[in-house]
Structure 1
Amino acid sequence: MDSEKIISLEGRRDDPLRYGIHGVKSDIIEAHPLQSAYRDAKLREEDMKKKVLTHTYGAAFPMKMELDRQILSKFQRPPGAIPSSFLGLEAMTGDLDGFGFEDYLNDPRDSESFRPADMHHGMEVRLGLSKGPTCPSFM
């Protein structure tokens, strides 16, 4: 009887005590108005690069680059002390030379509310043995 009354909250994103209060506004609007303009400009630039590569080298080359990008974006280290850096993806896309706002002011590991990742729970989530976020790093 008691087991029927227990509701499992593991893996649910609507638990405000674990994940904070969810707001619909944060799903619709970016943190700053220029973020949408920057994102749109970046998408247009990538689209133009793909068109130029298609006209120069043929249709197979941009498809191969997209496949490489997908492979490099999935490669991650196991959760733990050393975070994934995606160096291969940054080298392929040319983002190594870029130095953005998040590179020097928005490192989550510098926050006072940072909680180190539980490596065992992270691997259980990646292997499908447990539910929930891989790395709940903020309280």
Structure 2
Amino acid sequence: MEEAPKTLAHQIGGIQNDALRFGLHGVKSDLVGSHPLDVAHRSTIKTHEDMKRKVLANTYGSAFPLKMDLDRQILTRFQRPPGPIPSSMLGLEALNGSLDDFGFEDYLNDPRESEVYRPQDMHHGMEVRLGISKGPVCPSFV
């Protein structure tokens, strides 16, 4: 005899076409992929990181890049719960050396300070983080 599962499979918010929660669905994002320069930029960054790892391994030994990976994993776990105050990830930025980078948000504005930005629902964000619900954490990133 086979036992029936004791839990029912449910999808709370699992439907991506939920216009009330995620806004209207855009077809253009499904048809058009990322820009070729974006792909080239990402591959250049990955190649640069691989070369940096090899230089560190040759200079300080093979354990040093592994220690840096463990530090990176630890620093990516510390986040605030989803809500109005975003996680700054200052320790991770210091480890990666991205504190010295000058991005567009430094001279234009942070996209979260825009008039069209919708703040994320804290409850839905925690449901997505815990795996209870599916979908984007913040509806403005659809």
Is the Cα contact below 8 Å between 1:72 and 1:86 reproduced in 2? yes
* Shift, 1:110, TM fit: 2.6
| Match of residue 92 from structure 1 | 95
Of 67, 72, 75, 1:72 maps to: 75
Residues 82 and 50 of structure 1, relative CA distance in 2, 3 Å threshold: same
Q: TM-score if structure 2 supplies the norm length?
A: 0.73
Q: TM-score if structure 1 supplies the norm length?
A: 0.74
- Structure 2: any 5+ residue segments left out of the alignment? 1-10
Residues 138 and 48 of structure 1, relative CA distance in 2, 3 Å threshold: closer
| Match of residue 24 from structure 1 | 30
- Structure 1: any 5+ residue segments left out of the alignment? 1-7
* Shift, 1:95, TM fit: 0.3
Letter in 1 for 2:100: D
Letter in 2 for 1:119: M
Aligned residues: 129
Letter in 1 for 2:30: V
Q: Secondary structure at the match of 1:24?
A: helix
* Shift, 1:115, TM fit: 1.6
| Match of residue 84 from structure 2 | 81
* Shift, 1:119, TM fit: 1.8
* Shift, 1:16, TM fit: 6.6
* Shift, 1:91, TM fit: 0.1
Aligned-residue RMSD, C-alpha: 2.7
